[in-house]
Amino acid sequence: MNLKTETDIASYVSDAYASGCKLRIVGGGTRQSLGNPCESEAVLSTTGLNGISLYEPGALTIVAASGTPLADIEAALAAEGQRLPFEPMDHRGLLGSSGTPTIGGVVACNISGSARIQAGACRDSLIGVRFVDGTGTVIKNGGRVMKNVTGYDLVKLMAGSMGTLGVLTEVAFKVLPAPETKAVLLMEGLTDATAIQALSKALSSPYEVSGAAHVQKGLDGDPVTMIRVEGFEKSVSYRIEKLRKLLTSFGESSIEIDPVHTKAGWKWVHDVEGFANQTGDVWKISVKPADGPKVAQKLPEAECLFDWGGGLVWALTPESTDIRKTLQGISGFAERVRGNTQNTSPARVAQNAAIAKIEHGLRTKFNPKGILNAGIMG
Amino acid sequence: MEMPQPDTLVLSRKAHIVQRLQKVLPESAVIFEEQEVRAYECDALTAYRCPPMIAVLPGSTTEVSAVLKICNEEGVPVVPRGSGTSLAGGALPTSDCVILGVARMNAVLETNYEDRYIRVQSGRTNLSVTGAVEQNDFFYAPDPSSQLACAIAGNVAMNSGGAHCLKYGVTTNNLLGVTMVMMDGEVVEIGGAYLDSAGLDLLGVICGSEGQLGVVTEATLRILRKPEGARPVLMGFDSNEVAGACVSDIIKAGVLPVAIEFMDKPCVEAVEDFAKAGYPEAEAVLIVEVEGSETEINDQLAKIKKIAITHKPVELRESKSEEESAAIWAGRKAAFGAMGRISDYMCLDGTIPVSELPLVLRRIGEMSKKYGLKVANVFHAGDGNMHPLILFDANKPGDLELCEEFGAEVLKLCVEVGGCLTGEHGVGVEKRDLMLTQYNQTDLDAQMDVKDVFDPKWLLNAAKVFPLSSSDDRRAI
Ligand SMILES: Cc1cc2nc3c(=O)[nH]c(=O)nc-3n(C[C@H](O)[C@H](O)[C@H](O)COP(=O)(O)OP(=O)(O)OC[C@H]3O[C@@H](n4cnc5c(N)ncnc54)[C@H](O)[C@@H]3O)c2cc1C
């Protein structure tokens, strides 16, 4: 099936709706294993919908078809000295997948990265969507301007809905200037608790931290704590120095400004590359930053990596252990991102019954026969 | 303004409903005398008024839940209300409704600097959220000009913005979680003091839903450390086009100011008469503010000035002190007040792609001649959110209607050039009947489907946002 336009997608979904054929939506296929196992009889590929339809650097906006490779969008932005604010992570290493990530997949899974702590998630930069719902109807919401409160914000609802409400066909973003330089403050050997305190102190300073992470095992096996600032050169050197002074009580620190190193080092954290070649399940846990170390404490067998100042914990755990029970009492949510297929527990569960009821109601409206990515969100 | 026919059955049962409400609320919290409910007859869109049947002022989530349960059982329409500063008629009552005001619920429930959030009851005013954390040098970023009065409840419902949202985002980008009471009285917790939640982004759709999905009683908000300093520069230009081009160039150069505010000549003149801010005689004035340390500010302002000079400004005034900064902002902040002093006005709120600024300003000028009504423009230029103020005389028969017609034409133009009807004030009743210029019926149906799920009987603020003709069938159920 070669679907090239939104109309093609609409008629394909509409036929599937009529026959009750369950579809698996696939973009670049690099994040297919996220979520719960999906029931499907046919594949719907979005890669035929390709291309940037509008890019206005002066208005900080870009609009693209959902099957457009993320790399194409990043390249177009880079050519004008801009970027996507939310720094989407690349799952290929962690999940052992291959293929070319598409922008539609990024949106469907609300993929963000370390910059989320300052610049927000994918959903915060997303300003417009077009999608085909589970009956084959084309729906638009939002638009191409960054301030828009006209009607309900279905744009946010679509971000992270993992295809269960519709097939995204077009997405629009608010973008930001790319920084002139970056610098990273590095501290070694801190315990989880001390490291998160240091990150919290940095994030509570006026020095505009754009990344705050702590890994239990850095490249040479020891704990490393990292704080990133970005911007114009003078400003970056001023702020990184200020941060260094602010954190002297936490011990020695060094400053990395080499662009190749800062980029690669940060990518290693942010794409969770350290877990890529290790066996075990990988969990993504979202909590209050100060609860980050508590999570690690409750999971003594796990190796942990903290991003978002401690608020995002990546945990590498022994296979087939459901950590959700262990973490009860800490508010937040945990999702298994990688696991062996024998797992009996779902990767994702709804937060509570009231929310599950609303979510079910919404799915019944937008995807009444449940033909799109059935079961992926539980 | 066309509103649905009041439900006569509900009206006939008023005494009984009052009695039931009095059982779950303190006596003073149930207002039902005709003279007293009049206090709730309108919000800041004062052209439309309608006293509600009853107004209640619950003091807790439990009380809100009890009220909604009763209203749900009795089939009584409910209109949630924060501080009543909506410019879109979002809190306009219907004569058969219960106004549910959250103004008494204004407590700070928790502040956490380590994890950088605050949890408040939703009746707390926007400015007093910052007030609660500023002794520790923190602030809550979204800053609507109405921040002294407007409540977090209204901010969440309208997804309000402010002058500084180019850098910090609007309400939805700073909201971490809410406690919301559904129309049947069920209390739901959505989100929390952490960043990502499981499942669908319900918080995203609740924010900006104009009180139609549930009553928000508590909110968890992100707080930020104050910057070391901030300083504006004022620029005057020969034409709106040039000012627009300058804005675009600043953004393209990679400088991201916290605010870029634009005022055209009619606005500057009114402001000068009123606030004596010492603005230059220019066709267009920009205020650009940057933040950071002294060095950072100087560095950024130098970059901005360099760009501005290529556009031959008639004036370029950098603030050198706190007083000068305050003077530069004084005019902008007084703009609405200044206009209000010379005339009645209607404030529009459409957003346009920044590149269309010159065209749209020119067309508005032409329309102003056609309708014989003056317009002043003051707006957030960095994000294209326009605020044309159309001046009219409320005492002159026909003037309001003429003004509304003019406004509608401007908003249609905003949509035509790729923008939208409202950037931060919301649809309410004011723009309800224009919704089909931006969305088709299918798009609106998708939105109304969401309301069906949250509020199946369409009792919550049902006459807003969607054209009555397009929601008729759903409201009839
Ligand atoms: C002079 C002036 C300047 C302004 N400047 C700005 C500006 O810069 N930026 C901006 O964005 N807006 C601005 N506004 C508009 C207005 O202040 C905002 O829309 C504000 O958020 C409304 O808050 P409120 O508490 O007054 O809400 P209300 O007017 O009481 O209600 C607004 C909407 O919220 C709903 N609502 C209220 N409480 C709840 C609740 N508990 N649960 C669910 N829904 C609820 C209501 O039903 C209604 O639809 C301005 C208004 C004025 C008068």
Q: Which residues of A touch B350 (CB under 8 A)?
A: none
Q: How many angstroms separate the alpha carbon of residue B155 from the centre of ligand 1?
A: 5
Distance in angstroms (rounded) separating the CA atoms of residues B24 and B314:
64
- Average predicted confidence (pLDDT) for chain A: 96
Domain boundaries, chain A: 6-177+357-366, 181-270, 273-338
Out of B198, B207, B418, whose CB is closest to A335? B198
pLDDT on residue B477: 63
Query: Which of the 8 DSSP states describes residue B395?
Result: T
Ligand 1 center–CA A122 separation, angstroms? 26
SS3 A345: coil
Please provide the DSSP assignment of A117-180 as one string.
Answer: HHH--HHHHEEEEEEE-TTS-EEEEE-SSS---SS--HHHHHTTSTTSS-EEEEEEEE-EEPPS
CB of B84 closer than 6 angstroms to any ligand 1 atom: yes
- Cα separations in angstroms, A104 against A37, A97, A107, A160, B34: 20, 17, 5, 10, 55
A308 closest CB neighbour out of B195, B254, B355: B195
Work out the average pLDDT over A159-172.
Answer: 98
State whether the beta carbon of B212 lies less than 6 angstroms from ligand 1. no
Contacts with A163 from chain B: Cβ below 8 Å: none
Which distant-in-sequence residues (6+ apart) come within 8 Å of B383 by Cβ?
A145, A146, A147, B165, B166, B351, B354, B423
Q: What residues form DSSP beta bridges with A184?
A: A228, A256
Is the CB of B215 within 6 Å of ligand 1?
yes
> Which tokens go with A215?
């890994």
Which residue in the set B227, B254, B439 is minimally distant from A177, CB to CB?
B254
Instruction: Say whether B343-416 and B230-336 share the same fold.
Output: yes
CATH top-level class of B343-416: alpha beta
Backbone angles phi, psi at A152, to 5 degrees: -75, 150
Test A365 with B227 for CB contact under 8 angstroms.
no
Question: In sequence order, what are the beta bridge partners of B154?
Answer: none
Contact B24, B68 (CB under 8 A): no
- Of A378, A292, A369, residue with least CA distance to A332: A292
Q: Are B422 and A148 a contacting pair at CB < 8 A?
A: yes
Above pLDDT 70, what percent of chain A? 99
Residue B12 CB-density burial (10 A; 0-12 exposed, 13-18 middle, 19+ buried)? exposed
Tell me the CATH number of domain B108-225, given options 3.20.20.150, 3.30.465.10, 3.40.50.720, 3.40.50.300: 3.30.465.10
The pLDDT assigned to B44 comes to 95
Which residues from chain B sit within 8 angstroms of residue A359, using beta carbons?
199-200, 202
B225 and A176 within 8 Å at the Cβ level: the answer is no
Sheet holding A138-142: strands in order across? A52-56, A61-65, A167-174, A126-132, A138-142
Interface of B with A in 50-69 (CB under 8 A): none
Q: Say how far residue A49 (Cα) sits from the centre of its chain.
A: 22
User: Can you give the C-alpha Rg of chain A in angstroms?
Assistant: 21
Ligand 1 near B461 CB (within 6 A): yes
CA of B147 to the centre of ligand 1 (A): 10
Does the pLDDT value for residue A340 go beyond 80?
A: no
Whether residue A342 is predicted with pLDDT greater than 80 in this model: the reply is no
- Max intra-chain CA distance, chain B: 71
pLDDT of residue B382: 87
| 3-class SS string, B171-197 | HHHHEEEEEEECCCCCEEEEECCCCCC
Q: What is the DSSP letter of A242?
A: H
User: Per residue in A255-281, pLDDT tens?
Assistant: 999 999 999 999 999 999 999 999 999
Q: Contact A376/A162 with Cβ under 8 angstroms?
A: yes
- Cβ distance B386 to B411 under 8 Å? no
- Full-model pTM: 0.97
CA B217-B219-B224 angle, 5° bins: 155
- Nearest residue, CB atoms, B420 vs list A120, A137, A145: A145
CB within 8 Å of A280: residues ≥ 6 apart: A316, A317, A318, A319
Does the CB of B351 have a partner CB in chain A at under 8 Å?
yes
Q: Is B122 in the pocket of ligand 1 (CB under 6 A)?
A: yes
In angstroms, the CA B310 to CA B307 distance is 6
Is the beta carbon of B147 within 6 A of some atom in ligand 1?
no
The reply to whether residue B199 touches residue A359, judged by beta carbons under 8 angstroms, is yes
Measured from the CA of B90, which atom of ligand 1 is nearest?
A: 49
| 8 Å CB contact between A147 and A133 | no
Q: CA angle B388-B389-B392, nearest 5°?
A: 140
SS3 of B464, please? coil
Please provide the size of chain A in residues: 378
Q: Domain coordinates of chain B in residue numbers? A: 8-103, 108-225, 230-336, 343-416, 439-477
What is the SS3 assignment for B308? helix
E-only strand ranges, B229-330: 230-237, 259-264, 284-291, 315-318
CA distance B285 to B242: 10
Cα Rg, chain B, nearest whole Å = 23
In this prediction, residues A184-201 reach a mean pLDDT of 98
Query: For residue B338, what pLDDT is reported?
Result: 82
pLDDT digits (tens, 9 = 90+) for B370-406: 999 999 998 888 899 999 999 999 999 999 999 999 9
Q: In this complex, do A286 and B195 lie within 8 Å of one another by their Cβ atoms?
A: yes
Task: Check CB contact of B452 with chain A, cutoff 8 Å.
Answer: yes
pLDDT at position B437 is 97
| Contact in structure between B419 and B350 (CB atoms under 8 Å) | yes
Interface of B with A in 152-211 (CB under 8 A): 158-159, 161, 165, 169-170, 172-173, 182, 186, 188-190, 192-205, 207-209
Select from B368, B410, B379 the least CA-distant residue to B284: B379
What does pLDDT average to in each consecutive run of 10 residues of chain B (477 residues)? Answer: 94 98 98 97 95 98 98 98 97 98 98 98 98 98 94 98 91 98 98 92 98 98 97 94 90 89 90 84 94 93 96 93 89 83 90 90 94 92 92 93 96 97 97 97 98 98 97 87
Pick the CATH number of B230-336 from 3.40.50.11030, 3.30.1490.190, 3.30.2020.10, 3.30.70.3450: 3.30.70.3450
Other residues' Cβ atoms within 10 Å of the Cβ of residue B341: 11
Residue B286 φ/ψ, nearest 5 degrees: -115, 140
B181 close to ligand 1 (CB < 6 Angstrom): no
Ligand 1 centre from B467 Cα, in Å?
A: 20
Residue A351: burial class (beta carbons within 10 Å; 0-12, 13-18, 19+): buried
Q: Do A349 and B293 touch (CB under 8 A)?
A: no
Q: What are phi and psi of B291, to 5 degrees?
A: -125, 165
B425 lines ligand 1 (CB under 6 A): yes
State which amino acid sits at residue B337: G
Helices (H), B318-461: 322-333, 335-342, 357-371, 399-416, 435-438, 441-454
- Note the maximum CA span of chain A: 66
Classified by CATH at the fold level, domain A181-270 comes out as Alpha-Beta Plaits (3.30.70)
Measured CA distances, A45 to A140, A182, B297 (Å): 20, 37, 49
B44 lines ligand 1 (CB under 6 A): yes
pLDDT score, position A1: 67
Of B60, B62, B69, the closest CA to residue B184 belongs to: B69
CA pair distance A169, A13, nearest whole angstrom? 12
**What six digits make up the tokens of A283?**
């969990």
Amino acid at B131: G
**Does CATH number 3.30.43.10 belong to domain B8-103?**
yes
Ligand 1 pocket member B162 (CB < 6 A): yes
Which residue in A34, A148, A230, A234 has the most chain B C-beta atoms within 10 A of its own C-beta, making it the best mutation to test that interface? A148
Looking at residues A296-311, what average pLDDT do you find?
97
Q: Are A377 and A162 a contacting pair, CB within 8 Å? A: yes
Q: How remote is the CA of residue B99 from the centroid of ligand 1, in Å?
A: 15
Chain A contact present for B110, CB below 8 A: no
Read off the DSSP letter of residue A372: B
What share of chain A in percent tops pLDDT 90? 94
Decide if A60 contacts A80 (C-beta within 8 A): no
In chain A, which residue's Cα lies nearest the Cα of B227? A206
Question: Does domain A273-338 fall into CATH 3.30.70?
Answer: yes
Q: A147: nearest CA in chain B?
A: B423
- Our CA-based measurement puts residue A250 at a distance from the nearest CA of chain B, in whole angstroms, of 16
Q: Residues of B398-414 as b/e, b for ≥16 C-beta within 10 angstroms?
A: ebbebbbebbbebbebb
Q: What is the ipTM of this complex?
A: 0.97
Q: How far is the CA of B158 from the centre of ligand 1 (A)?
A: 6
The domain A6-177+357-366 having CATH identifier 3.30.465.10: the answer here is yes
Q: How confident is the model at residue A344 (pLDDT cuts 50, 70, 90)?
A: confident
Task: Answer yes or no: same fold for A6-177+357-366 and A181-270.
Answer: no
Pick the atom of ligand 1 nearest to B80's CA.
47
Tokens of A344: 């009996």
- List the single best residue of A61, A152, A233, A362 to mutate versus B (max B Cβ within 10 A): A152
According to DSSP, the residues that pair with B111 across neighbouring strands are B118
